[in-house]
A = this chain, B = another copy of it.
Amino acid sequence: MTTETLDAPRGGDWVDSDFLKQLAAVIRAEDSYGQWDDKSDADIMSEFIVTREERRDIPIIGDPDPEVMWRISKFYDAIGLMIEKRSGCMASQMQKMSHEGFGRIVLIAGRLVVVTKHLRDVHRFGFETWEKLAEAGEKVIADAVATIETYPEPARA
């Protein structure tokens, strides 16, 4: 069992997920010269995986790394695009981040806040497995679509 666990790929097995595909597409959109064309989605998204051991080693003092902020933005950009695909409402992102790694992210469609998330330990943003990354994204998307269905008028205002 132990050796099996050690041999398992980082992030565990890849999962088939619309959200993971969207996130990969958002990241590939920045690859203007096609330098990542040979890389798999798992390769270009490897930084979204933070194992339990890695997590422990990341200090949470000082300003969060710009790369972490970039990853968080891409995560919510992908969520915004999936919300648009499923509801027809374009959702734009706003962030408010403190220097200590606390913050708030919202996605706004029309007059409606479709996603609101308070973040902490921003420094350690990441997921243990692809499955958990996919689930986290899908959950936020589902909640946002449900919010739009509850309040359709301000979402389209």
Q: How many whole Å from A92's CB to the nearest CB in chain B?
A: 8
Q: Is A26 an interface residue (CB 8 A)?
A: no
Q: Is A151 an interface residue (CB 8 A)?
A: yes
Query: Which residue of chain B has the shortest Cβ distance to A104 in the bound complex?
Result: B94
Oligomeric state, in copies: 2
New contact pairs (17) apart from A111-B116, A113-B154, CB-CB < 8 Å? A94-B96, A94-B104, A94-B106, A95-B96, A106-B106, A108-B116, A110-B113, A111-B112, A111-B113, A111-B151, A112-B112, A112-B154, A113-B113, A151-B151, A151-B154, A151-B157, A154-B154
Indicate with 1 or 0, residue by residue over A92-114, a CB within 8 angstroms of chain B CB atoms.
00111000000010101011110
Picked from B108, B147, B151, the residue with its CB within 8 Å of the CB of A106 is B108
Cα A91 to Cα B130 in complex, Å, equals 37
Q: Is A149 an interface residue (CB 8 A)?
A: no
Contact surface of A with B, Cβ cutoff 8 Å: 94-96, 104, 106, 108, 110-113, 116, 147, 151, 153-154, 157
- In the assembled complex, 10 residue pairs joining A and B whose CB atoms fall closer than 8 Å, in A order, are A94-B94, A94-B104, A95-B96, A108-B113, A108-B116, A111-B151, A151-B151, A151-B153, A151-B157, A154-B154
